[in-house]
């Protein structure tokens, strides 16, 4: 999670209760997981991050779900555009004997998960009467032989007007977000491209390669070429972003183990590298929240684990996106995230599959709903999270007068399905009592309110959570205490 800031005092690690029904090897494995989590939480600030809660997979209908999403975007009407990486449809090709050939398509859903009227987008009708097959192409070699080539989906992005930019291998399209009709098309030079980036204040579009060595090219809103923003890129990239004014580029060459910033003074100046501004992340997706202006960056995956940037100690979590204020990014410094979203590997949904790669993220127009997508992911490969602000919850005050700041062991422990947590404040302060799973994901906020000095107890109801070990933390005005507990079904 967080990487910088002063270290906080941590309560002694809670011992595990003796229980012959819990296998010794399971206890030891859970102990190691929680020790890692406790170490990670040492570096967290006591100010709470903006929290997001998992709501559902998307779309909810299993018949409309698919694996390995590569691009995702949300338009001004709140429709969700999803680009699978692989072929999910076919088209009949007369030039190849009327055989059916596989194609990639884009699916468009209303916010409730029902298909939009024009979904799926298989063909692109362009101004002037041309029609392209979005995810396929008939090619002819030098000998006149015809063959079918697929154009794999490489990323989506809403442009400055909310229309959808689609990268299919090296073909860049703009689709009308209200109808799905084609508005612009350009075949970019070189091989496959990463998801495009947009300067929302100018409308300019930036395109870059997946494979290192090629340039980042800047295009005007009408798809005419302005020129190279950066002549040579480094590291394999799946996604990058630019600031709204177009004068800052955040380059996520995920094999570089960090995000590099390029900056220029104005549109008439050249870009210079400022160095790494988010060290330790192997980012395959990033985007801006349109409501807050924060930049969200994926940290890595089980295949490309984060925290491997030499010279920096970081504790980013895989399959997690973090939010940053770009005005607070400083070269060669570990930034403080303002929030995080972690992919849910719910056993009931994915049956133990945990190897997806965080390849896409998009927000609703009001910024309060996030749609996250993973590549190399079994279906469903899109999930929905909503913003969850801390809520003042009822808490019981006991008659005891405390003599020290304390967080007691929950009772009963182990428990099923509820338990009580007692804590004490020797002076007034804002108290926040939260529960985390062994992956560091916040699963419950039990208390988040100003309290007077006194002894309090709060019930934790875990009926909707799986069995396992959980960490509970009490933060009061810069002080932190921790405990562990076991939920047994």
- Domain 24-48+391-487 and domain 52-82+156-388 have a common topology: no
Among 419, 413, 407, 372, smallest CA distance to 481 is for 407
* Residues forming beta bridges with residue 396, ordered by sequence position: 457
* Chain center to CA of 294: 13
pLDDT at 48 over 70: no
Report the pLDDT value the prediction gives residue 53, as an integer from 0 to 100: 86
pLDDT at 474 over 90: yes
pLDDT at 463 over 90: no
Report the pLDDT value the prediction gives residue 169, as an integer from 0 to 100: 94
Mean pLDDT across the stretch 137-163? 94
| C-alpha distances out from residue 199 to 218, 250, 344, Å | 10, 12, 31
pLDDT at 1 over 90: no
* Residues forming beta bridges with residue 250, ordered by sequence position: 241, 261
Report the pLDDT value the prediction gives residue 400, as an integer from 0 to 100: 67
Report the pLDDT value the prediction gives residue 68, as an integer from 0 to 100: 96
Report the pLDDT value the prediction gives residue 308, as an integer from 0 to 100: 92
Report the pLDDT value the prediction gives residue 171, as an integer from 0 to 100: 96
In the chain, what are the domain boundaries? 24-48+391-487, 52-82+156-388
* 459 and 444 Cβ atoms separated by less than 8 Å: no
* Chain center to CA of 488: 31
Answer with the residue of higher pLDDT: 390 or 297. 297
Report the pLDDT value the prediction gives residue 32, as an integer from 0 to 100: 54
* 322 and 342 Cβ atoms separated by less than 8 Å: no
pLDDT digits (tens, 9 = 90+) for 102-133: 999 999 999 999 999 999 999 999 999 999 99
Rounded to whole angstroms, how far apart are CA atoms 488 and 484?
13
The model's confidence at residue 489, banded by pLDDT at 50, 70 and 90, is confident
pLDDT at 8 over 70: no
The model's confidence at residue 199, banded by pLDDT at 50, 70 and 90, is very high
Mean pLDDT across the stretch 65-88? 96
Lowest model confidence (mean pLDDT) among 86-90, 341-345, 385-389, 426-430: 385-389
pLDDT at 43 over 80: no
Burial label, 401 (beta-carbon count in 10 A; 0-12, 13-18, 19+): exposed
| Phi, psi angle pair for 282, to nearest 5° | -105, 75
End-to-end Cα, the chain, rounded Å: 29
Report the pLDDT value the prediction gives residue 20, as an integer from 0 to 100: 42
Report the pLDDT value the prediction gives residue 3, as an integer from 0 to 100: 32
- Superfamily of structural domain 52-82+156-388: TolB, C-terminal domain (2.120.10.30)
Mean pLDDT across the stretch 177-184? 98
The model's confidence at residue 13, banded by pLDDT at 50, 70 and 90, is very low
Tell how many helices (H) and how many strands (E) occur in the chain. 2, 37
pLDDT at 31 over 60: no
Rounded to whole angstroms, how far apart are CA atoms 82 and 64?
11
Lowest model confidence (mean pLDDT) among 41-55, 125-139, 433-447: 41-55
The per-residue DSSP string of 198-265 comes to E-TTT--EEE-BSSTTS-EEEE-TTS-EEEEEES---S-EEEEEE-TTS-EEEEEEGGGTEEEEEE-S
User: What kind and span of H or E run contains 421?
Assistant: strand 418-425
Report the pLDDT value the prediction gives residue 33, as an integer from 0 to 100: 53
pLDDT at 49 over 60: no
Tokens for 397, please give them: 């005050």
pLDDT digits (tens, 9 = 90+) for 219-277: 999 999 999 999 999 999 999 999 999 999 999 988 899 999 999 999 999 999 999 99
Lowest model confidence (mean pLDDT) among 142-146, 305-309, 332-336, 461-465: 461-465
Round the average pLDDT of the chain to a whole number and report it.
88
DSSP code for 477 = T
Q: How many Cα neighbours within 13 Å face the side chain of 102?
A: 9
pLDDT at 2 over 50: no
SS3 102: strand
Tokens for 216, please give them: 């980042």
Residues 6+ apart with CB under 8 A from 259: 250, 251, 252, 276, 277, 278, 281, 283, 286, 297
Q: Which residues of 165-176 are buried (b: 16+ CB within 10 A; e: fewer)?
A: bbbbbbbbbbbe
Report the pLDDT value the prediction gives residue 437, as an integer from 0 to 100: 86
The sign of the CA dihedral 3, 280, 316, 388 is positive
Lowest model confidence (mean pLDDT) among 5-19, 84-98, 120-134: 5-19
Among 434, 438, 446, smallest CA distance to 486 is for 438
Q: Which residue has the tokens 């930019």?
A: 165
Q: What is the CATH number of domain 24-48+391-487?
A: 2.60.40.2550
* 163 and 129 Cβ atoms separated by less than 8 Å: no
* 110 and 94 Cβ atoms separated by less than 8 Å: no
* Residues forming beta bridges with residue 230, ordered by sequence position: 216
The model's confidence at residue 356, banded by pLDDT at 50, 70 and 90, is very high
pLDDT at 15 over 80: no
SS3 135: strand
Report the pLDDT value the prediction gives residue 389, as an integer from 0 to 100: 54
% the chain with pLDDT above 90: 72
User: What is the length of the chain?
Assistant: 489
pLDDT digits (tens, 9 = 90+) for 360-377: 999 999 999 999 999 999
Tokens for 402, please give them: 């405390």
């Amino acid at each position: 999670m967080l990487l910088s800031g002063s270290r906080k005092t941590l309560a002694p690690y809670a011992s595990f209760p003796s229980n012959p029904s819990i296998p010794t090897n399971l206890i030891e494995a859970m102990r190691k997981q929680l020790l890692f989590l406790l170490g990670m939480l040492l570096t967290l600030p006591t100010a709470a991050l903006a929290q997001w809660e998992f709501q559902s997979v998307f779309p909810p209908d299993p018949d409309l779900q698919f694996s390995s999403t590569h691009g995702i975007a949300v338009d001004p009407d709140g429709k969700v555009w999803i680009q699978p990486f692989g072929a999910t449809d076919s088209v009949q090709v007369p030039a190849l004997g009327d055989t059916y050939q596989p194609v990639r398509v884009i699916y468009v859903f209303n916010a409730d998960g029902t298909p939009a009227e024009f979904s799926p987008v298989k063909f692109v009708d362009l101004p002037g009467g041309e029609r392209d097959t979005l995810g396929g192409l008939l090619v002819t070699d030098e000998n006149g032989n015809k063959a079918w080539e697929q154009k794999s989906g490489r990323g989506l992005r809403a442009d400055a007007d909310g229309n959808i930019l689609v990268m299919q291998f090296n073909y860049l399209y703009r689709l009308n977000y209200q109808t799905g009709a084609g508005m612009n098309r350009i075949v970019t030079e070189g091989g496959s491209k990463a998801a495009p980036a947009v300067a929302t204040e100018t409308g300019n579009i930036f395109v870059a390669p997946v494979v290192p060595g090629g340039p980042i090219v800047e295009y005007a809103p009408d798809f005419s070429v302005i020129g190279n923003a950066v002549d040579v890129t480094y590291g394999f990239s799946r996604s990058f972003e630019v600031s709204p004014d177009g004068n800052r580029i955040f380059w996520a060459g995920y094999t570089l183990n960090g995000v590099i910033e390029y900056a220029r003074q104005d549109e008439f100046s050249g870009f210079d590298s400022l160095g790494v501004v988010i060290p330790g992340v192997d980012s395959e997706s990033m985007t801006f929240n349109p409501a807050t202006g924060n930049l969200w960056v994926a940290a890595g995956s089980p295949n490309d684990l984060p925290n491997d940037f030499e010279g920096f100690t970081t504790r980013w979590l895989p399959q997690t996106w973090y939010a940053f204020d770009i005005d607070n990014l400083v070269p060669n410094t570990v930034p403080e995230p303002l929030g995080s979203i972690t992919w849910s590997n719910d056993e009931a949904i994915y049956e133990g599959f945990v190897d997806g790669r965080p390849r896409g993220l998009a927000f609703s127009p009001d910024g309060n709903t996030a749609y996250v997508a993973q590549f190399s992911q079994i279906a469903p490969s899109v999930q929905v999270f909503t913003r969850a602000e801390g809520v003042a919850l009822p808490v019981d005050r006991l008659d005891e007068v405390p003599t020290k700041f304390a967080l007691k062991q929950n009772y009963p422990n182990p428990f099923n399905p509820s338990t009580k947590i007692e804590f004490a404040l020797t002076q007034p302060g804002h108290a926040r009592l939260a529960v985390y799973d062994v992956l560091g994901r916040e699963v419950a906020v039990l208390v988040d309110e100003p309290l007077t000095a006194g002894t309090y107890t709060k019930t934790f109801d875990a009926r909707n959570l799986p069995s396992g070990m959980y960490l509970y933390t009490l933060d009061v005005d810069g002080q932190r205490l921790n405990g562990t507990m076991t939920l047994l079904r």
